[in-house]
Amino acid sequence: MSADEKKTVRIEDENDRWRFTCPRGHRDWEPTNHHFWCATCARAETVDGVFHELLDQRTDELYARDEVQLLTPVGPYDRDLDYRETKA
């Protein structure tokens, strides 16, 4: 999947934060080390805060980290991951 085919998620956009959640439906997730981390899940005793797929609340689809391009106001969040994907 090329960068052009990836689902774009603007991580600092309020609408995208409401639309894309951790698999348990929490909106306080952050990208980290080519996966994701959810603060609410991390506070639970029986749930790991690390997860690998974002849930699209609109379509109920799950997107793996390599299927999304995370954007910040200054550009892609993980340029190396996005670059590596386009070179494959």
Q: What is the pLDDT of residues 54-64, one digit of tens each?
A: 999 999 999 99
Cα three-residue angle 63-71-54, rounded to 5 degrees: 20
pLDDT of residue 87: 45
- Segment 7-41, tens digit of pLDDT: 999 999 999 999 999 999 999 999 987 899 999 99
Q: How far apart are CA 82 and CA 69, in angstroms?
A: 7
